[in-house]
A and B are shown apart, each in its own frame.
Chain A
Amino acid sequence: MNRNNRFEFFEPLYIKVTVGLLLGVLFAIVLGPHTGAWAYDAIHWEAIGAPPSGEHWFGTDNAGRDLFARTMIGGRVSLLIAVLATTVSFCIGVPWGAISGYLGGTTDQIMMRIVDGMYAIPYVLIVIVLVVMFGRNIYLLFIAIGAVSWLDVSRIVRGQALVLKAAPFVASARAMGLPEFRIVARHVVPNVIGSAIVFATLMIPSVIISESFISFLGLGVQEPMTSLGVLIADGSKNIYAAPWQLAFPTGLLTVLLLLMTVLGERLRRMVTGAERSLI
């Protein structure tokens, strides 16, 4: 993205609104657990499974903990997992795809076969094994999710690298006798990173969903810490007795996903130079 694009990006009203809302949500997630009157892990014996009230804005869960504080901390954890997992997947996917696409030939064949093979292994299995092997902790979850979601990244980067390989400046670099490694690191990677970052904004929502799925299986974060996925999985079991336990975390997740998808889509269009949206 060049400088002009950067301003153009914020031009449409809906983007300004989206960015504003996103900042608001982030603000609430980061500061919410501190501003709320209650700690996310304190038990209120007199208010177990209580509906929303002035005291507990989002009600409480069945262990008597303030749901507002828990939703906010859950949002923070989910977002953190998403960002870190995306980073991990980039650290593997970008070099993998760049090398594969740039070198081509047999190397490319082998590297892409590995990616195909990994697509076929259910990632749940990998996550389960990683989690049981190394015990359950939140960092492992980032790594596990990142380790299975780099496949898409490597595909996209490889495609870009194939195109770049034929680009004049890469050809001239090669003519100058630069070593292959340096060409990849200096010329290929920097040029694919743009479209990869755009992909990242689309990937973060899908990682949040993956995390919620893993938590649904009971393999997610440990109590008393929580995540949106854990809250939603619990809430969905209580939908009849305590619908607010599902409504608020789901609301936050949906809002987060919506805002990020809108931004990601906008970014993607800017970078790939696809048609202008005229909303």
Chain B
Amino acid sequence: MNRTFITLVATLAVAIGVSLDAAPEHDTLNIGNSAEPGTLDPHRYFANAEEHILKDLFVGLTTMSADGEIQPGVAESWTVSDDGLQWRFALNQSASWSDGQPLTSEDFVFGLRRHQDPKTASPLAHFLYCVKNAEAINHGNLPPHELGIVAQDRHTLVIELEQPFPFLLERLLYPIAYPIPKHAVDKYGDAWVKAENWVSNGAYVLNEWRPREYVELRRNEQFLYADDTAISKVRYYPFQEPSTAYNRFVSGDMDIIQGYPHALVRKVSQERPNEVRNAPLQSMMYLVINTRIMPFDDVRVREALATAIYRERITNQILGVGELPSATLSPPIVAGHRSVGPNHEPSTSRAKALLAEAGFNNDQPLDVTLRYISSEENKRVYIAIAAMWKDAGINVTLHHTNLATHFSDLQNGDFQVAQAGWFGENNPEHYIELLWSKIGPANYGRYESQRFDALFEKARETADLQTRLAELAEAEEVALQEFPVIPLYVTMTLNLVKPHVGGWKTNGRNLHPVRFMNWIGSP
């Protein structure tokens, strides 16, 4: 019976093994992605894991180099009017879709209108509210054709803005600004994203998507710079657990992984020095305080919470792989950052004094519930913060939940102090605007300051970049005096790259287009 059974299992296993795919081919680049993408429709995209794949599938007006700099994409050149409201893009005349159809300015018009159309329900529609009439269209108050984007001719595109926005070229890097193949969408409807109907204009096209197994891309021969693409096939594998990704990198299954357990950084740096590629991410990890509830509406309480935190201890002792402590909400590593704000030394005794002023002492301590998202790295950070607060006589309760619940609670204002983070752009405004009272739910703490709002809104009217940056810095300084948030640190991205993969460069966006990569030696 035993033997029969073993034969049975073996047969079954072999049968299934054959039906599963054969091992990845020799020329396939295997990349460990952070998660399963939710969609490959650029307008419905939301998560970082999707952006990793989309940036290989499409090219927008602008695109990025291997080290994250903005460079021409489909647009060869551009000009901006003096008032900063009108942007004119000259498109590359030889651009085409992967099915050979020419790519024209109409495709961009179609794309941006579709993106703002409420029917598309783009979760990131507000990222392009800077375009004229976008917000009204997205709220259903105007029809999509009223959008401030015009195809002057087949290769000239004009974008009109509501207000000057010098960071537009960077905004256009997001997948939401990618062109969409109108002919394919018309033909297949929502099913255009299926591999068999797939049309795109990037270095790669979608070959196959096996849910939660991998997304496979193959070289797009029609790509504008197809001659430069060295790698012919790419597979993105989703990893829910960084430790699994690490296991599979070590065992040789993966060529690149985007994330491995933080606790392993020191060990890995010693054992695999030529594979480690850690870099600071353009991002800010911060604590947000609910300024609308007692006693956190008291600025002394908020300042006490901030003053009791020794950032360097967190970045050096608890994390210790290059995280940068920051007292400003705009990350010190972004272009145009200015150091502002009350940068006084952390001090437990000063925190105690502030709390005493606000009416809290040992007999009647301040009670704080600190919320964070369950993860190994977060746990260490927030346990340490809780310990620092405890030293200042604060009674801390920790509360960790999964990501969805955490942000649902934050958006509903159902928290006292909570972890938050923001990432993505190489300019301070992207971060400072989180404090604006009109930004919506992203201002989790419902912070509202007339002085800040006035300064920030003035900056938003300014077209000149340098003046605007100065105004933004002034606004940030005003806000930070009132401690609506406690900036903590710039986080690190932890990548591992096999030595046989060339052209991979660290950058602050942590996006690495495969079109710049190549094989070194034989893989």
On whether A and B touch (CB less than 8 Å), the answer reads yes
Could you tell me if B398 and A43 are in contact, using CB atoms closer than 8 angstroms? no
B387 interface hit (Cβ, 8 Å) = yes
Q: Looking across the interface, which residue of chain B has its beta carbon closest to that of A135?
A: B399
A132–B263 alpha-carbon span in the complex (Å) = 29
Could you tell me if B398 and A218 are in contact, using CB atoms closer than 8 angstroms? no
Q: Looking across the interface, which residue of chain B has its beta carbon closest to that of A230?
A: B379
Could you tell me if B379 and A240 are in contact, using CB atoms closer than 8 angstroms? no
A42–B390 alpha-carbon span in the complex (Å) = 10
The minimal Cβ–Cβ distance linking B98 to chain A, given in whole angstroms, is 41
Could you tell me if A136 and B399 are in contact, using CB atoms closer than 8 angstroms? yes
Residue in A45, A223, A242 whose CB lies within 8 Å of B263: A242
A48 interface hit (Cβ, 8 Å) = yes
Which B381-423 residues have C-beta < 8 A from chain A?
382-384, 386-387, 397-402, 405
Could you tell me if A48 and B399 are in contact, using CB atoms closer than 8 angstroms? no
The minimal Cβ–Cβ distance linking B275 to chain A, given in whole angstroms, is 15
Q: Which residues of B contact A222 (CB under 8 A)?
A: 397-400
Could you tell me if A224 and B398 are in contact, using CB atoms closer than 8 angstroms? yes
A234–B241 alpha-carbon span in the complex (Å) = 12
Q: Which residues of B contact A242 (CB under 8 A)?
A: 263
Q: Which residues of A contact B241 (CB under 8 A)?
A: 237
Residue in B318, B399, B401 whose CB lies within 8 Å of A63: B318
Mark interface residues in A213-243 (1 if CB within 8 Å of B CB, else 0): 0000010001110000000001011111110
Could you tell me if B263 and A218 are in contact, using CB atoms closer than 8 angstroms? no
Residue in A218, A223, A236 whose CB lies within 8 Å of B383: A223
Q: Which residues of B contact A136 (CB under 8 A)?
A: 399, 401
The minimal Cβ–Cβ distance linking A64 to chain B, given in whole angstroms, is 8
B243 interface hit (Cβ, 8 Å) = yes
Q: Which residues of B contact A65 (CB under 8 A)?
A: 383
Could you tell me if A48 and B405 are in contact, using CB atoms closer than 8 angstroms? no
A49 interface hit (Cβ, 8 Å) = yes
Could you tell me if B379 and A223 are in contact, using CB atoms closer than 8 angstroms? yes
The minimal Cβ–Cβ distance linking B475 to chain A, given in whole angstroms, is 36
Mark interface residues in B314-328 (1 if CB within 8 Å of A CB, else 0): 000110000000000
Please give the number of chain B residues whose Cβ is less than 8 angstroms from any Cβ of chain A in the complex. 27
A242–B263 alpha-carbon span in the complex (Å) = 9
Give the residue among A64, A234, A237, A239 with the most B Cβ atoms within 10 A: A237
Contacts A45-B313, A218-B400, A222-B398 given; indicate if A240 touches B376 (C-beta within 8 A). Answer: no
B187 interface hit (Cβ, 8 Å) = no
Q: Which residues of A contact B402 (CB under 8 A)?
A: 218
Could you tell me if B379 and A63 are in contact, using CB atoms closer than 8 angstroms? yes
Could you tell me if B405 and A234 are in contact, using CB atoms closer than 8 angstroms? no
Could you tell me if B263 and A224 are in contact, using CB atoms closer than 8 angstroms? no
B267 interface hit (Cβ, 8 Å) = yes
Which A57-78 residues have C-beta < 8 A from chain B?
62-65
Q: Which residues of A contact B481 (CB under 8 A)?
A: none
A49–B63 alpha-carbon span in the complex (Å) = 42
Q: Which residues of A contact B387 (CB under 8 A)?
A: 42-43
Could you tell me if A241 and B267 are in contact, using CB atoms closer than 8 angstroms? yes
Residue in A64, A132, A240 whose CB lies within 8 Å of B264: A240
Q: Which residues of A contact B364 (CB under 8 A)?
A: none
A42–B386 alpha-carbon span in the complex (Å) = 11
Give the residue among A42, A224, A234 with the most B Cβ atoms within 10 A: A224
Which B294-345 residues have C-beta < 8 A from chain A?
313, 317-318
Q: Which residues of A contact B380 (CB under 8 A)?
A: 62-63
Could you tell me if B317 and A241 are in contact, using CB atoms closer than 8 angstroms? no
The minimal Cβ–Cβ distance linking A53 to chain B, given in whole angstroms, is 18
Contacts A223-B379, A224-B386 given; indicate if A132 touches B261 (C-beta within 8 A). Answer: no
Contacts A63-B318, A240-B264 given; indicate if A43 touches B400 (C-beta within 8 A). Answer: no
The minimal Cβ–Cβ distance linking B488 to chain A, given in whole angstroms, is 16
Give the residue among B263, B264, B267 with the most A Cβ atoms within 10 A: B263
Could you tell me if A223 and B400 are in contact, using CB atoms closer than 8 angstroms? yes
Could you tell me if B405 and A223 are in contact, using CB atoms closer than 8 angstroms? no
Q: Looking across the interface, which residue of chain A has its beta carbon closest to that of B250?
A: A240
The minimal Cβ–Cβ distance linking A40 to chain B, given in whole angstroms, is 12
Contacts A222-B399, A224-B398 given; indicate if A241 touches B263 (C-beta within 8 A). Answer: yes
Q: Which residues of A contact B266 (CB under 8 A)?
A: 241
The minimal Cβ–Cβ distance linking B352 to chain A, given in whole angstroms, is 19
List A residues at the B interface (Cβ < 8 Å).
42-43, 45, 48-49, 62-65, 132, 136, 218, 222-224, 234, 236-242
9 A-B Cβ contacts within 8 A? Answer: A45-B313, A63-B384, A64-B318, A136-B401, A223-B379, A237-B376, A240-B264, A241-B263, A242-B263
Task: Rank and list the top 6 A-B pairs by shortest CB-CB distance, nearest first.
Answer: A218-B374, A63-B383, A223-B398, A63-B380, A43-B387, A241-B267
List B residues at the A interface (Cβ < 8 Å).
241, 243, 246, 261, 263-264, 266-267, 313, 317-318, 374, 376, 379-380, 382-384, 386-387, 397-402, 405
Known: A42-B387, A132-B405, A222-B397. 17 other contacts (CB 8 A): A43-B384, A48-B318, A49-B263, A62-B263, A62-B376, A63-B383, A65-B383, A132-B401, A136-B401, A218-B374, A222-B399, A223-B382, A224-B398, A237-B263, A237-B376, A238-B376, A241-B261
